[in-house]
Structure 1
């Protein structure tokens, strides 16, 4: 058993299959929203002005407008959820609430391409926050008010600045474990910046102010700051989880005594403190949301700021009339993939699985194959769970972010997860499922991310279809006894090493590949004039090292 010493340990529901959201990109929309909510809490919800800074060498200066970072961030600053129906108009709502904002690009030396630097101001106080979007809606806050911190939104966070700590010798002998016990908290960290000291207190429940006053041996010269959790599954310290990589799982002598979905349930029960029934019920709900999204797409979608229109209806009509080539279940998978991507592009509700840009392959394959096999929602949910565990292995060792790894990180992960899900639906073993996942990811190595017109539609639709087609092929191959040769962990590491050599232009910056073709640039110019929706309702990018201020 592994001791869960890291509170940011991956959860299937937090980090892999989820969040339930709106927007074209989870690493832009959902992650930015979570960052915005934490920033809002820094000033107790009394937000009047925010400065948003992006490093000029990162991905955000080129993508924050068109890929939904602004939409998500503004929604978070308003305290909304990632699936709020008002999100496409969040900029106007921010202005209507009297909150001024400005963007600034500069050379800040940020190592991660998805770094947000926020300065939030209320009537009585102001704070700074630095956070990164790590892919699939996952985040990490790395700095608050120049104090180095580490938080992912899974805890209730309480921040206490200490008065004149240099003259208080007790800070040198502070027993953080004892103080955490007295506060009924999970962790107490001492954070320092120059001569200043701050306590970061992480707890599963909100700490009462009276408890803090009674237990802390110092006075705080500033208001105590509380940050509410933004993740559905709370961080759970001191839990023991059975594995975090595929090799630890598959090296067990009894690995094939249980299907992969049961190992996934065991993992999430330990990670989240849930019962088996709770894990299954949560995933059944996700299956039902995915089905509703696909049905919505098939009924037709409209949205001004999009490259592709409603195409799934035409595919369905041709399929039903027998005018398409006979591809068996794959045709239904292509239909469902297209419908889901159309919902995403029209700001409908989707599930990041593992990301919004790659949201369609897994639900399309599982729901289409589930119908073909006459499976219940619970059986389909078990396949989703098997997929989720593959995602845990990928997210723990690498990333889902296209800004980090290109589309091999998004589409490749979706293909691997879908392949394992399909093997599970067919009654295959854990070894076969993980082998299919490895084979599917191998087939996607080197895939770049080059969104046409800086929108997450083309070639994203085709890459979701490729991921699904790849998944069903690899699932059948492994069920038939084909050898994937390279184990999954080694394949994930190979993908990581490939990403480190991938140029910035091919990692979701819209600066290379299809994104820079004349047709793509022409479409982007046209969409900038559409006047509503994600991207178009946000301020246009400003020149580097300058400011663009929007206020009411």
Structure 2
């Protein structure tokens, strides 16, 4: 798989939907499946392994919405996504879901069989966290693609020579023929091809030949930078310059663009959001009124942070545009903390972007060693990562050092180990809101502790490894399956039942029930 990119894996995608692991990833899988069928799809069979997370979550957490949008060729922030099921039906595409017992090792595994009047293809892919994916097989042939390349699949007669100017060429046995998988910056051709399929990239930062990054772990970065003690955001910019072939100015401008999307989303959340199929209504407006009137406990800038976190979570739950940073379920802690604190300090958007870049590098270290997927690691993989990233960002805003930023990230993550994922009523709203607020508050506390040179004791890389070890011992029920914790309380089940009844009736959400 390709090397982690801040803009691919950590701060992004820009999307709609409750969960990046479900919605954005499913959309990207759907886009690749559409390309495999050259846009001509008549029927789709979707199979989920009974022991995975998707049988119980695919409808309520956005997998269906994302997958349908991808099959239609839409982008992850398309405003039509909430109506993708109807659009799929209007396009004449027949859809069937089945739960199967196949023992898929990854909990977020999609098995798609696609047909039209001429042909049938199959695709197996996984969502790896934060909207990232990997295709594992096509038509029963094991291969690997993550959406970072122009992928040309060429079926040739066995024994046919095939040479390409490409980043990577892999030959697979495909029964009576050979399948040549070509990863390149553009699609390729072959005159003897029996069939050709062109799968376009779905990631914003493409992969390329001979790409290398200066470091992939915190320890490597510290060893390389040594006593220079470069600011963390500059080290992040250097990393992404190498990963994406960008200039420093391009990296900063990309992050400023994300900051502007986030500020717009925060404002829309405070102004008010509506969506029928959600647990919590508009609450940030009331919080803002009381904060402005001085009727809340004096939390200083933390109250603004809580407001912004709440607003972003409400935008997410109303299918508005958010940025998965690092995921949709944990989309609010980092930007809410950074933008809220930066505004309270009178900082510019460029300084906000620098803080976000610093957080992005912490996210690189997490994603390289582990995952952001709650289905794999519980909420410690989402909320814990967000707290760690936000703590480093806040130290950067305060003008702290490289080492203080890393210390803050380590301390914030340490206090989030063991956090389970147990969404109430199978919606990614609560206790997700509280966990995002907790992550942001934790980040602020740890940032101040680091600025005062508190000792984190455990190096960041070791904390990440410890979280991974905890996840390996965490029961499946506590890893985003809606089968444990608050998700199975009587009240949670009753809320889910009522939401399901309203949806079945086409209720307009008057609130009488």
CA contact (8 A) 1:255 1:430 kept: no
TM-score (norm. length: structure 2): 0.97
Segments of structure 2 that go 5 or more residues without pairing to the other structure are 509-513
Which residue, out of 154, 177, 185, partners 1:204?
Answer: 185
Moved more, 345-354 or 247-256: 247-256
Segments of structure 1 that go 5 or more residues without pairing to the other structure are 1-6, 214-218, 537-552
Structure 2 distance, partners of 1:274, 1:294, is 29
CA deviation after TM superposition for structure 1 residue 255, in Å: 5.3
Is 1:158 the equivalent of 2:131? no
Is 1:286 the equivalent of 2:258? yes
CA contact (8 A) 2:184 2:208 kept: no
Structure 2 distance, partners of 1:253, 1:63, is 44
Structure 2 distance, partners of 1:401, 1:192, is 33
Matched with 1:220 is 193
CA contact (8 A) 1:158 1:202 kept: yes
Structure 1 distance, partners of 2:489, 2:21, is 24
Q: Aligned-residue CA RMSD in angstroms?
A: 1.5
Matched with 2:511 is none
Query: 1:202 aligns to what SS in structure 2?
Result: strand
| 1:95-174 to 2 correspondences below 5 Å | 95-163=89-157, 165=158, 168=159
CA deviation after TM superposition for structure 1 residue 108, in Å: 1.1
CA deviation after TM superposition for structure 1 residue 428, in Å: 1.1
Is 1:433 the equivalent of 2:405? yes
Structure 1 distance, partners of 2:480, 2:396, is 32
Matched with 2:414 is 442
| 1:326-337 to 2 correspondences below 5 Å | 326-337=298-309
CA contact (8 A) 1:406 1:507 kept: yes
CA contact (8 A) 1:256 1:429 kept: no
Structure 2 distance, partners of 1:84, 1:533, is 26
Which residue, out of 324, 342, 363, partners 2:296?
Answer: 324
Which residue, out of 54, 61, 66, partners 1:67?
Answer: 61
Structure 1 distance, partners of 2:27, 2:143, is 19
CA deviation after TM superposition for structure 1 residue 533, in Å: 12
| 1:62-461 to 2 correspondences below 5 Å | 62-163=56-157, 165=158, 168=159, 179=163, 183-193=164-174, 196-207=177-188, 209=189, 212-213=190-191, 219-221=192-194, 223-252=195-224, 254=226, 256-461=228-433
Structure 2 distance, partners of 1:452, 1:81, is 28
CA deviation after TM superposition for structure 1 residue 253, in Å: 5.1
Deviations 1:468-503 (A, max 9, x none): 000001111011000100000000000000000000
Matched with 1:32 is 26
Moved more, 321-330 or 253-262: 253-262
Moved more, 498-507 or 431-440: 431-440
Cα distance 1:237–1:533, how it changes in 2: closer, same or farther (>3 A)? farther
Deviations 1:99-138 (A, max 9, x none): 1110011111200000000011123221110000000000
Which residue, out of 447, 452, 457, partners 1:485?
Answer: 457
Matched with 1:8 is 2
CA deviation after TM superposition for structure 1 residue 529, in Å: 2.0
Give the structure, 1 or 2, with the largest relative contact order (CA under 8 Å, sep 6 or more).
Answer: 1
Structure 1 distance, partners of 2:444, 2:480, is 27
Query: 2:501 aligns to what SS in structure 1?
Result: coil
CA contact (8 A) 1:57 1:107 kept: yes
Structure 1 distance, partners of 2:378, 2:179, is 38
CA deviation after TM superposition for structure 1 residue 373, in Å: 1.5
Deviations 1:497-524 (A, max 9, x none): 0000000100000000000000000000
Is 1:500 the equivalent of 2:481? no
CA deviation after TM superposition for structure 1 residue 194, in Å: 5.2
CA contact (8 A) 1:156 1:229 kept: yes
Give the number of equivalent residue pairs: 507
CA deviation after TM superposition for structure 1 residue 196, in Å: 4.4
CA deviation after TM superposition for structure 1 residue 195, in Å: 5.7
Structure 2 distance, partners of 1:337, 1:19, is 18
Cα distance 1:518–1:8, how it changes in 2: closer, same or farther (>3 A)? same
Structure 1 distance, partners of 2:230, 2:116, is 54
CA contact (8 A) 2:44 2:95 kept: yes
Deviations 1:405-437 (A, max 9, x none): 000000000000000000111111111111111
CA deviation after TM superposition for structure 1 residue 530, in Å: 2.4
CA deviation after TM superposition for structure 1 residue 257, in Å: 3.1
TM-score (norm. length: structure 1): 0.90
